[in-house]
Amino acid sequence: MDDKDLELRNLTYRRFVALGRAPEPEELGPRDEVLAGWRRLHEAHALVLDGDAIRMANPFSAVATPYRVLAGERWWYGNCAWDAFGICAALDVDGRIEYRDVAVEVRDRRPDDESLVFHCLVPAAQWWDDIVYT
């Protein structure tokens, strides 16, 4: 990843957090240049595209998922349970994670319900084979 792509990646993340949603290419610069950069970042696993749109800027999801996260006075979607906690981590704030009928608060980097467990089905070496499924 060269410096230009790194700058685009960081700009994309900053705008995602500022807007509370994935930015459109035109919001970051010339559409063709931004899309070309996003495609390189997608190949580098620095974000995930669905066509010309951002699908994931991990840990943030650009689309609705079962993992809702209240963090930084805004609701977000996480791509999975790991990412849901990752949103609190990335924003460096406390938060609340909701999934189905489960709700867990994160305070000072600790979950308030330690009876819950996290199940990971796909082995680590295969996570990026199909990151949306993972």
Partner 1 sequence: MNLFRSGEPRPEGGETITVTALCDLAHAWWGDRLAPDWRPHTREQNQAILDRLGLTGNFWRLS
| Footprint of partner 1 (CB under 8 A) | 1, 6, 9-10, 13-14, 17, 44, 46, 58-59, 80-83, 85-92, 97, 99, 102, 104, 106, 109-111, 113-125, 127, 134
111 Cβ neighbours under 8 A, 6+ residues apart: 85, 104, 105
Positive or negative, the CA dihedral 85, 79, 63, 25 is positive
CB of 52 to partner 1, least distance (A): 23
In the bound state with partner 1, the residue whose beta carbon lies nearer, of 32 and 121, is: 121
CB of 53 to partner 1, least distance (A): 20
In the bound state with partner 1, the residue whose beta carbon lies nearer, of 2 and 32, is: 2
Closest CA to 128 of 24, 21, 56, 23: 56
CB of 114 to partner 1, least distance (A): 5
Closest CA to 90 of 7, 13, 6: 13
